[in-house]
Amino acid sequence: MANIQGAGTQQHTYDAIVIGSGISGGWAAKELTEKGLKTLVLERGRDVKHGDYPTAMTESWEFEGRTKLLPAELAKQEKQNRTGYTTHPASAHWFVNDLENPYSEEQRFDWMRGYHVGGRSLLWGRQSYRLSDLDFEANAKEAIAVDWPIRYADIAPWYDYAEKFAGISGSLEGLPHLPDGEFLPPMEMNCLEKDVKRRVASAFGGRPIIIGRVANLTQPHNGRATCQYRNRCIRGCPYGAYFSSNAATLPAAYATGNLTLRPFSIVSEIIYDKNRSRATGVRIIDTQTNEVIEFFAKIIFSCASAVASTSILLQSTSERFPHGLGNDSGELGHNLMDHHFKVGAAGVSDDFKDSYFRGQRANGIYIPRFRNLNKETARKDYLRGFGYQGSASRTDWARGIKELNMFGSKFKADMIAPGPWRFGIGAWGECLPYHANRLTLNSKLRDKWGQPTVTFDCGWKENEYAMRKDMKASAVEMLEAAGLKDVTPYDDVVNSAPGNCIHEMGTARMGRDPKTSVLNKWNQVHTVPNVFVTDGACMTSGACVNPSLTYMALTARACDHAVKELKQHNL
């Protein structure tokens, strides 16, 4: 990085600035650069070039502690460890040091972060589903929070657009509440999954079980290779076989010649010019030199993730916006959502003993929402709904750990062979947008760069708890109807704390009215129209599906609008 301290304003001026390089930031970079804008992408963490994935080809025996981190290393990631999988030695380097990046909790909130180029696009679960009008209309119909300012028809072409580039494999099902998309060929179900699918459809009036719609390629796509079925995605994929900023959007942005990517750059605030009623740029801290530097642009896309984007807006105070940029409504920081999960059931099967699968499929099955779709499926005990993710597999040697009285030569032979087939599902449920669920800035606890930190005050409420009962009961009901044995429910509500699902949404919601929302239907800050927020912060409600595909579509749509508005000199 050249020393740019002392360089002139002109040298610090771009057409567009994008804050963050994760799923949303990568898309903004691609779209804006492809439309000819000189674009500066600011990333607070280190650079990661595609392929720079140190554990991608590491075998279990090459990790000294096999599945464990050294205690001194784990002590730096106590909060990141709350998911139970993030701090495995294969992936711990993608998650932040909690000691250097503290936050506070009025109620437990599990904030999982990856501070590096690509952000959590390297780490995501890759499940990719469209919202539908069931979701976009729900708030209005139920008088919850505020109405979404868009409907499915507004975003549908942008889902098409995002899917075509990203590469989503899946099956066409014709479900109105889980719209089909531009899919690559679906992955295959295994023997038991096909059997359970057939039995559940038969027992529950055609209730579908479908293969997961996943951002893993089932054929070569846009210069990226097909999935190798290693199921080691979280380490980074050297084949580029799943969608990430590093493998897909950032290379496309670089190819235009219009991208400048600046790692080690924490945006501390967006600079506002009250005379023009526009943002003029951003102020950053270079984390390597501690220099404070300003960059300027005609438009700013905040894609730093829900919590970080809202924090930046809250920090961007001025005479005009004493409570944070664009926060006339007072809603900035409120209506924080995640999905609640870790509830479901599992059972075993005595069938298919002579069958196995080949390859490690980086995907599971999906049971689309079947509650509160219409009058016939309406529930009295809760609003909205949930979908299930799951899979069948043959159990492995890990089942032998807990059975203490099993050991010896027969035990060893049993553990070497594939164990009984097991089918498990877990529900992902919608959380309503509650004004009381919020984040605030904490100026008393500052990070190592002197920046205020975040305090979370967010919890599930009656609707989520009532839904969880059905999430568990319906799982048991289906698995028993499917003929599985030893069907065992689970509900780990403690470890389904908000944040744990890593789907933070809301806090700068879209809406029709500047008095009750932060962003308009184009993801523009109502009162500062050259600032766009297109990450999870914008969500007006959470739906029950994984949200990243929606961020891709909304980002591409907002970029298109921004460039049109720029050309018409409206920004």
Partner 1 sequence: MSQPTLSSAPVQPHLADTMTRRAALKRAALFLGVALTPSLIANVLQAAAVPGAKALFLSSAQLDLVTAIAERILPRTDTPGASDVGVPAFVDLMLGKYSTESERQVFTAGLDEVNAASLAAHAQSFVKVSAEQQDAILMRIAVASQKKDKTFFHQIKELTVVGYFTSEIVGRTVLHYDPVPGRFQGCVPISEVGNVLWTK
Rounded CA-CA distance 498/504 in Å is 8
412 is a contact residue toward partner 1 (CB under 8 A) = yes
Residue ranges in 540-569 that form contacts with partner 1 under rule CB under 8 A? none
Our CB check for partner 1 shows the closer of 59 and 376 to be 59
Shortest Å distance, C-beta 88 to partner 1? 12
User: Does 68 help bind partner 1 (rule: CB under 8 A)?
Assistant: yes
Q: Which of 283, 286, 244 is nearest to 119 (CA)?
A: 244
Which position has the token pair 């829900």?
306
Of 167-196, binders to partner 1 (CB under 8 A) are 187-191, 193-194
562 close to 546: Cβ distance less than 8 angstroms: no
Q: Which of residues 332-361 bind partner 1 (CB under 8 A)?
A: 352-361
Is 64 or 376 the residue whose CB approaches partner 1 more closely?
Answer: 64
C-alpha span between 208 and 564 (Å, rounded)? 41
Return the number of the residue (63 or 254) whose C-beta is nearest partner 1. Answer: 63
* 228 lines the binding site for partner 1 (CB under 8 A): yes
Residue 401 within binding range of partner 1, rule CB under 8 A: yes
Of the residues 2, 143, 404, 494, which one makes contact with partner 1 according to CB under 8 A: 404
Tell me the window of 108-116, 146-154, 376-384, 391-399 that interacts with partner 1 (CB under 8 A): 391-399
Residue 407 or 465: which CB sits closer to partner 1?
Answer: 407
Under a CB-based contact definition with an 8 Å cutoff, are residues 454 and 439 in contact?
A: yes
Tokens at 469, concatenated: 């009962």
| Amino acid in position 487 | V
Residue 162: name the closest of 453, 444, 552, 472 by CA: 552
Classified as helix, coil or strand, 318 is: coil
State yes or no: residue 411 binds partner 1 (CB under 8 A): yes
Between 204 and 411, whose beta carbon lies closer to partner 1? 411
The 69-88 contact track toward partner 1, x by CB under 8 A, reads: xxx-----------------
CB of 231 to partner 1, least distance (A): 8
Tell me the sheet residues that pair with 389. 366, 426
- Applying CB under 8 A, among 2, 143, 153, 413 the residue interacting with partner 1 is 413
Nearer to partner 1 by Cβ, of 397 and 465: the residue is 397
Our finding on whether 203 is near partner 1 (CB under 8 A) is: no
Using CA atoms, how far apart are residues 428 and 342, in angstroms rounded to an integer?
8
Q: What is the CA radius of gyration of the chain?
A: 24
Taking alpha carbons only, the member of 261, 259, 217 closest to residue 48 is: 261
Query: Measured from the CB atom, is 258 or 363 closer to partner 1?
Result: 363
Cα(338)–Cα(234) distance, integer angstroms: 21
Nearer to partner 1, 4 or 406 (CB): 406
Rounded Cα–Cα distance for residues 500 and 487 (Å): 25
Closest CB to partner 1 among 66 and 274?
Answer: 66
How far apart are alpha carbons 223 and 247 in whole angstroms? 10
* Cα 368 from Cα 18, distance rounded (Å): 34
How many residues touch partner 1 under the rule CB under 8 A: the total is: 52
- Dihedral angle, C-alpha 566, 269, 557, 239, nearest 10 °: 120
Q: Which of 174, 205, 322, 408 binds partner 1 (CB under 8 A)?
A: 408
For residue 225, the tally of other CB atoms under 10 A from its CB is 15
**Spatial separation of the C-alpha atoms in residues 336 and 461, rounded to whole Å:** 13
- Binding region for partner 1 (CB under 8 A) out of 325-333, 398-406, 507-515, 521-529: 398-406
Binding footprint of partner 1 on the chain (CB under 8 A): 57, 59-61, 64-71, 187-191, 193-194, 227-231, 352-361, 394, 396-398, 400-401, 404-405, 407-409, 411-413, 415-418
